A and B are shown apart, each in its own frame.
Chain A
Amino acid sequence: MSAAAPRAPGALARWWDSDLAYSFRRSPVAVAAALMLLVILFGAALAPWVAPHNPLDLASLNLMDSRIPPVWDAEGQSSFPLGTDDQGRDILSGILYGVRISLVIGVGAVLFAVVVGIAAGLLAGYAGGAVDAVLMRIADIQLTFPAILIALLVDGVVTAALPQEMHERLKVQVLIFSIGISFWPQFARTVRGSTLVERGREYVMAARVIGLSSGRIMLTHILPNVLGPVFVIGTLTLGLAIVTEATLSFLGVGLPPSSPSVGTLIRIGNDFLFSGEWWMTIFPGLALVLLVLSINLLGDWLRDALNPKLR
């Protein structure tokens, strides 16, 4: 402790002192999950610089390098730490690039679901009446079906409706749309519930009395107060969205082998399970599990940390 006069703390220091940061420091699981996630995120974001090879560059592939086991195996090579697939692609590089695509689709789908869900939830909760009934009825119907089924169906329909030559080019967008659309009801229902509570508060009445428009009240007054649960559900949904994308790619309706996500890698490797080349499947699978597990652990921690009942 210095004897100098106390200065106004910076943003970082204020964050360090907040309840959330305190509970984060106190939770070894959250810290470990965050570290793991950071490593994966850096690996994925810097894939072109970190990865030993470029799996998307077909010219650099050599069929002589195919089916090399991991480096600790007697036949392993140090230039391919986790082995290669049947085309001679480096598994580690494939994973780094694949996680990148999986993350883009997962985050994109969650953002899409959040935007649609918040809009629908705010509208339903604030307007009430017929708007509320129709929107929530749609959400209810959709919630009856598991997300994977909706995503599979929307993906199939949208892909079939697009002309053939656009399939590969728009696949990422199609996946973001179909996965996002299958997760919006959770957000809509949560936001609607909190909006119903906030609508009756004094500050909303005050805003109405001074003549603000409904849109402005919803966006600048109610929205900031209903965002808390959205963060928690968003984090947990991110894990689900990544798993959904991997599942779709595994089923063969997701990303094509020319731009493989982690799910596509697992699908490719699965064909070689019986010939003993287990590393083609297991390492991408492990990467997927670590990614989803770290996101889920962080989501669990966030839910508990933001829940005042558990303090």
Chain B
Amino acid sequence: MPFASWLSKAATILICKSQDHPPARSNPLAPPPARSNPPPGPHPHAAWIEDQLLAFIVSRILQAIPVVLVVGLIAYAMFAFVGDPVTIMLGTDYTEAQRVALVKQLGLDQPFFVQYAKFMWAALHGEFGISYRLARPVTDLLAERMPATLELAATASVFALLVGVPMGVYTGIHRTAASRLFMVFSLVGVSLPTFLIGILLILVFSVWLQVLPSFGRGDVVRFSHWSTGFLTVGGLKALVLPAVTLGLFQMTLIMRLVRSEMLEALRSDYVKFARARGLGPRAINFGHALRNTLVPVVTIAGLQIGGIVAFSIVTETVFQWPGMGLLFVQSVQVADVPVMAAYLVMISVLFVGINLVVDLLYYAVDPRLRVAR
């Protein structure tokens, strides 16, 4: 298994890296020694860790399979209960023989679970049928719109992390007017619905100031399967408002999380001890406190990627962003089941994948998890 071995090697590197904590010293009151790099060569427990990690990954993947199967079942059940594809495809003028032939051709005369298995098999090969609304293969529709959604989600996540973490650290350390202002701001950010943030931003920056576009992706550069807005000024400008709208909720969430974790860490014994050792505030705040807030932050930030993709439905509708979320909303409005089913299955695979990666990162960041297993 070349892939698995590569993955576990990558994780081992991550693990070894996260272990260059200040080494334990016999005399805690002695001045801290110069920070030494870990000895070169493989980690002493590398082989053991690799086995553990492999078992962990395999068990997580085994847990993920039923989730995807159940979601696929729900997606398929939509076909069974919502609308009748035969009448949709035949129109109004048809004979009974034509109907029976089509039913047979579509395999609708077979038992439910046989049909379900066929659906999952086709889905595994990326085939989700043809959109009722647009009369085009669903896979093509999704592939066309995926770059827009992914670029938007990625920009929003980077924005949320780059602004949220420093703000959280600042409000955690300082008790100033600015920090109280940030907290009020974050409370408003949590209470403001996503679509309202988008509307307000459009009103201020597009209608009143007229500096940023309010809909579409601007100019995009097309490669064979990918269209990007990162390479043109118009594309980047068009990205600003949607990305801020989408990332704002995540940003306030990360900020509040980092703040509360920082407060907790700064009260803990090891920080008091670090202070007693005479470490400077910089080393305490960032080397000790922030470092230990990273586990929950990684988890939440990772899990929030799923939230970002889901909320991109709303953001894309506000900004008429030509992504998968807009396609999904338009499909829900007219009950375009193939698109809904495909989106659902794809999102579930994405979410399960994200959860898996988050678990692995968790494993890499928190050494206690490795010992416990």
Cβ-defined contact, B203 with A282, below 8 A: yes
Cβ-defined contact, B311 with A148, below 8 A: yes
A residues less than 8 Å from B340 (CB atoms): 153, 156-157
> Which of B328-369 touch A at CB < 8 Å?
328-329, 332-333, 335, 337, 340, 344, 347-348, 351-352, 355
CB-based A-B contact count at 8 angstroms: 108
B residues less than 8 Å from A160 (CB atoms): 82-83, 335, 337
Partner of B310, one of A149, A285, A288, A289: A149
Cβ-defined contact, A247 with B351, below 8 A: no
Known A145-B347, A161-B82: A152·B333 in contact at CB below 8 Å: no
Chain A, interface SS category: helix
What separation, in Å, do the CA atoms of A156 and B311 have in the docked complex? 17
Partner of B194, one of A247, A252, A276, A278: A247
CB distance from B112 to the nearest CB of A (A): 17
What separation, in Å, do the CA atoms of A282 and B208 have in the docked complex? 14
Chain B, interface SS category: helix
Cβ-defined contact, B335 with A281, below 8 A: no
CB of A49 within 8 Å of the partner chain: no
What separation, in Å, do the CA atoms of A153 and B71 have in the docked complex? 12
Q: How many residues of A contact B (CB 8 A)?
A: 38
> Which of B290-306 touch A at CB < 8 Å?
306
Partner of A288, one of B193, B214, B333, B344: B193
A residues less than 8 Å from B203 (CB atoms): 273, 278, 281-282
B residues less than 8 Å from A63 (CB atoms): none
User: In the complex, which residue of chain B has the Cβ closest to the Cβ of A140?
Assistant: B67
What separation, in Å, do the CA atoms of A146 and B306 have in the docked complex? 8
Binds A, one of B48-56, B113-121, B184-192, B260-268: B184-192
Partner of B329, one of A239, A243, A251, A281: A251
A residues less than 8 Å from B143 (CB atoms): none
A residues less than 8 Å from B306 (CB atoms): 144-146
Known A146-B307, A278-B203, A293-B188: A152·B196 in contact at CB below 8 Å: no
CB of B195 within 8 Å of the partner chain: yes
Known A148-B314, A152-B313, A274-B207: A296·B67 in contact at CB below 8 Å: no
Cβ-defined contact, A243 with B193, below 8 A: yes
Cβ-defined contact, A266 with B310, below 8 A: no
Cβ-defined contact, B314 with A247, below 8 A: yes
What separation, in Å, do the CA atoms of A144 and B333 have in the docked complex? 24
CB distance from A269 to the nearest CB of B (A): 9
CB of B317 within 8 Å of the partner chain: yes
CB of A113 within 8 Å of the partner chain: no
A residues less than 8 Å from B333 (CB atoms): 156, 252-253
CB distance from B311 to the nearest CB of A (A): 7
Cβ-defined contact, A289 with B192, below 8 A: yes
Q: How many residues of B contact A (CB 8 A)?
A: 45
Cβ-defined contact, A296 with B199, below 8 A: no
User: In the complex, which residue of chain B has the Cβ closest to the Cβ of A143?
Assistant: B303
B residues less than 8 Å from A246 (CB atoms): 193, 195
CB of B78 within 8 Å of the partner chain: yes
A residues less than 8 Å from B318 (CB atoms): 270
What separation, in Å, do the CA atoms of A293 and B199 have in the docked complex? 18
User: In the complex, which residue of chain A has the Cβ closest to the Cβ of B194?
Assistant: A247
Known A239-B191, A251-B317, A273-B207: A288·B196 in contact at CB below 8 Å: yes
> Which of B88-106 touch A at CB < 8 Å?
none
CB distance from B346 to the nearest CB of A (A): 12
CB distance from B48 to the nearest CB of A (A): 30
CB of A301 within 8 Å of the partner chain: no
A residues less than 8 Å from B191 (CB atoms): 239, 289, 292-293, 296
What separation, in Å, do the CA atoms of A146 and B352 have in the docked complex? 13
Q: Mark B231-242, 1 if CB is under 8 A from A, else 0.
A: 000000000000
Cβ-defined contact, B313 with A251, below 8 A: yes
Cβ-defined contact, A141 with B67, below 8 A: yes
CB distance from A91 to the nearest CB of B (A): 15
Cβ-defined contact, A149 with B347, below 8 A: yes
Q: List 26 A-B contacts (CB under 8 A).
A: A144-B351, A144-B355, A146-B307, A146-B310, A149-B310, A155-B332, A156-B332, A156-B340, A161-B81, A243-B193, A247-B195, A247-B314, A250-B195, A250-B317, A251-B332, A252-B329, A252-B333, A253-B329, A253-B332, A270-B199, A273-B202, A281-B203, A282-B203, A288-B193, A289-B188, A293-B188
The 4 A-B residue pairs with the shortest CB-CB distance, nearest first, are: A160-B335, A156-B332, A146-B310, A160-B82
